[in-house]
Structure 1
């Protein structure tokens, strides 16, 4: 009745096909593309000539299994509970009086979708989903090559205090290891795509809050992934000179001769047309810049490019009309990873800029950069990180990642780095770097802090967008060309993305990575990690759903249990939903 189950779908070990979809495919014993067996081979059977009668009667085991959790019954089940049913309609029942961005429903993408599909927007019970995926090693340090890829769905109908919680996500599938799916992830997403097509037309569901049947539809609002995962999900090649998915074929990039890396500079292109930096070629990439900033590509143009890629091409065809065919389906002063090296100085010499940093003639030595810290400055910097204390559950223990004696910082999580950039670096840089360097880095840190705010103003975002272009230009005047990888260039588009799709924290990977760590705790049998994760999730999903039927205060559940450090004895205790709901009065 609760539809708390999952399906086991057999897959080809080479990621060629799923034994699913048609009766013919379900009955196959070999892959129709690579002809590999569907079943595991018994290494101890001695070959086909030595198979015993017992082994013939034994049920064969599939070589690879995709565990899929059907979406439609889970969405129907959410409307069976009066509490979750009301929460799913929050985005339409609570007004936004000041027009600021507090939720994805306030974003331009949400509003444009409503204008294009008014029938979908007419019923607030229609669901908008965010798809998130990433790989992780289920065995910790025991195996470094095994990779499991969960696919999760977030419901953006929920209010801010409920939207991105682990209790509100839906586990769609567990893509099995041992290798990452790569571009074959589309193969495993087939069952989900079929259900999403059905949900676009709508299915009948029961709304327990109004005691009526309604026609429930659903759409995919956005996807959440890291940059390599974007390569797999979208098919846009993120390893070339046109790696930026926003600039696309208009990306300003070049290949460094000595550093042998792709360099993404030329951010003075994003400045106003009359800005003085456009005429200063010696401080940037050695060229004058009179072009306007790249124009974001429309969805119809993207579909045209994908169709162009899908056509059969001859071997000599390597470019399209607009450029190459892109579609395809922490240690301080680390000698091996630093950008301040001889090759970087040679690249500056080859570009004809920054004569003061060119290598010395007939020598392997080069001048010291202004951003390089002395040992005494490193000690000050590390002591600041070592002595910092944050509120409980705000971040991990950063001080344990700092080794003052060896002058190293290691073991930081991605969210820890985010916290360092937002709060600690602006303080630490003031005492350890020259003013011309620290001021630019503090500008960058402030930009990340403001773009990650809970409440955003579109007019303020437009100012931030203009300011970050100037900040990146200042960085180009300080750091070598090899520093400006694609990850640095993508900072220029964060403001645009926030104005289009809403808040950063509804689409970043920190919450997904935390969920992956939680899924890792489900594993009890190392021989079947995917099965353990799925069974553990189903059990927790059942407990979460049943907890919604208990009244607050009568039974302790995961929704009303006290905080871990509840030292106010209930005098000032208040649930998170009560605090945040005050921001959205009815």
Structure 2
């Protein structure tokens, strides 16, 4: 880890103590920091002081999420590795005691726009600047307009592009007329997800996805069936969401052996599809028990287990089974995917060609795979009668997750997904249709009520809750641990601005350069190029226009009236950035 040679920090002389006076606590803490900043990490060390070494190490701890135990083990190793006179702490607790005086707390203090006073101490309660009589509080017209946009700037149309277009928002307005009549009133959407401390992933406080009645929209009219051998509930019967004159409603052999003329009742699906297509152990729903359930329910006789000899059985080949070359082609397409930095995680790293599986994807990666990449990868690996319904499912997720939803088209899309699920029922075994697959049928009705789907996603909140829970090391005081960990991370992120030649959260190299073709070349600008770039921004940025106008007006005051605009512009170009 490179750093600049350690520079001497001026040592402050302690003030002369009177009979009852001495340095206050803030002065003592500051002088202690100066002492640690001037003390080499070990005798002969020219690049790190005791303080800078600890700050660098603790910054890496925060950046990479090291535990207190792992950080203590690293410090103990360094004490054994470095010379015996190294001035490093022996554990994480001592390291925090040394650097806590950098300021692991903050206080927001208002200042006059003219930078003449701080609203602090004796000025804390002032409402206006005593020097310029300018009010302390300033209304922000831009933010005020944004806060009222839903009532005054939002067009009345049949597109779902904002929560105000949802039925839930309109229902609230009609119920609480007095509140909704004031556009400045603020509405908050709360996330009611269970918070389990200490990294506990129990679902005690979360919604259950098991049992006969696991589908809330269907209530007691859910089409669930217990599979005797698979020992799971299967949710089939999506024909009731079709029109009564649809050809699927009267087909028996392709479905469960019955005609279904019922009316409709008043989701991780990607894992299921990948597991069954790649036949992944422990994840596929197409296993021996699934074929036994087919025989037990009396459907799909062509997929019943076949006896081979006296004591062996064989699973017949299904249309959705991939051979080795088809699996390689499917995975190779995903392995070769390159996306811009920030678009998703590196999906190619999740593809394991030798093991023939995909693992380690996050929730958002599943969305990218299902909506954008899946329909490309399966085209050459599955027959059309299988790939088309799966592509239709991919199209459905892309539509339902879009930023704008057309209310008039939601009904047609809802009928289309019902047909798609019925086609999938003709292909896959009942064990595939768990509650997560069945709930796809109800997403459009939920979108009408609550608005766009991305406003209801929980994985963003769950990911941040996981980050907060990682701060908890003292189970007696979880709130204090979270507060200390959060402030420490923000404090070290601020300190990292002053690190040289060290990777921080602000200078990490991007994984892929957006819209890059061929080799990517990094160019370091010299001082003249930096100046030219700086001048270009100052003379072409709209935000700087008021300052340029003020400068030109000042130039005109110093010149006689007969001077041409070209002369004034030349003076402006030469002196504006001087």
Residues 181 and 416 (structure 1), Cα distance of their counterparts in 2 relative to 1, 3 Å cut: closer
State the partner residue of 1:359.
305
1:265 aligns with 2:210: no
State the partner residue of 1:344.
290
Superposition TM-score, scaled by structure 1 size: 0.55
What's the offset of the Cα at 1:403?
1.5
User: Which structure 1 segments of 5+ residues have no match?
Assistant: 1-78, 136-148, 150-174, 186-228, 232-237, 296-329, 543-560, 576-586
Residues 110 and 573 (structure 1), Cα distance of their counterparts in 2 relative to 1, 3 Å cut: farther
Rounded to whole Å, the distance in 2 between the matches of 1:247 and 1:400 is 39
Where in structure 2 are the equivalents of 1:300-449 lying within 5 Å?
Answer: 332-361=278-307, 363-449=312-398
Q: Deviations over 1:233-254 (max 9, x none)?
A: xxxxx32111101111111111
Where in structure 2 are the equivalents of 1:161-172 lying within 5 Å?
Answer: none
What's the offset of the Cα at 1:541?
11
Q: Secondary structure at the match of 2:314?
A: coil
Rounded to whole Å, the distance in 2 between the matches of 1:102 and 1:494 is 16
State the partner residue of 1:274.
245
What's the offset of the Cα at 1:513?
3.3
Q: Secondary structure at the match of 2:188?
A: strand
Q: Match for 1:128 among 187, 192, 206? A: 187
Rounded to whole Å, the distance in 2 between the matches of 1:289 and 1:280 is 8
Q: Secondary structure at the match of 1:364?
A: strand
Rounded to whole Å, the distance in 2 between the matches of 1:364 and 1:530 is 57
Rounded to whole Å, the distance in 2 between the matches of 1:250 and 1:286 is 20
Q: Quick check: 2:240–2:264 contact (8 Å CA) kept in 1?
A: yes
Rounded to whole Å, the distance in 1 between the matches of 2:490 and 2:145 is 19
What's the offset of the Cα at 1:504?
0.4
Q: Deviations over 1:102-125 (max 9, x none)?
A: 111111111122112211211123
Q: Secondary structure at the match of 1:371?
A: coil
State the partner residue of 2:167.
108
1:246 aligns with 2:217: yes
Q: Quick check: 2:158–2:408 contact (8 Å CA) kept in 1?
A: no
Superposition TM-score, scaled by structure 2 size: 0.56
Q: Quick check: 1:340–1:369 contact (8 Å CA) kept in 2?
A: no
Q: Quick check: 1:257–1:347 contact (8 Å CA) kept in 2?
A: yes
Q: Secondary structure at the match of 2:160?
A: coil
State the partner residue of 1:474.
423
State the partner residue of 1:143.
none
Q: Secondary structure at the match of 1:431?
A: coil
Where in structure 2 are the equivalents of 1:166-245 lying within 5 Å?
Answer: 176-177=197-198, 229-231=206-208, 238-245=209-216
Query: Mean Cα displacement is larger for which, 249-258 or 484-493?
Result: 249-258
1:89 aligns with 2:148: yes
Higher helix fraction: Structure 1 or Structure 2? 2
What's the offset of the Cα at 1:90?
3.1
Rounded to whole Å, the distance in 2 between the matches of 1:179 and 1:425 is 33
Which protein has the larger Cα radius of gyration, Structure 1 or Structure 2?
2
What's the offset of the Cα at 1:98?
3.6
Rounded to whole Å, the distance in 2 between the matches of 1:527 and 1:413 is 31
User: Which structure 2 segments of 5+ residues have no match?
Assistant: 1-136, 267-273, 492-506, 515-521, 523-532, 544-578
Q: Quick check: 1:258–1:343 contact (8 Å CA) kept in 2?
A: yes
What's the offset of the Cα at 1:335?
2.4
Rounded to whole Å, the distance in 1 between the matches of 2:487 and 2:192 is 18
State the partner residue of 2:482.
533
Q: Quick check: 1:176–1:530 contact (8 Å CA) kept in 2?
A: no
Residues 368 and 529 (structure 1), Cα distance of their counterparts in 2 relative to 1, 3 Å cut: farther
Rounded to whole Å, the distance in 2 between the matches of 1:273 and 1:539 is 62
What's the offset of the Cα at 1:337?
2.5
Rounded to whole Å, the distance in 2 between the matches of 1:125 and 1:473 is 47
Rounded to whole Å, the distance in 2 between the matches of 1:119 and 1:504 is 29
Residues 180 and 374 (structure 1), Cα distance of their counterparts in 2 relative to 1, 3 Å cut: closer
Residues 391 and 573 (structure 1), Cα distance of their counterparts in 2 relative to 1, 3 Å cut: farther
Q: Secondary structure at the match of 1:417?
A: helix
Higher strand fraction: Structure 1 or Structure 2? 1
**RMSD of the alignment, in Å?**
3.6
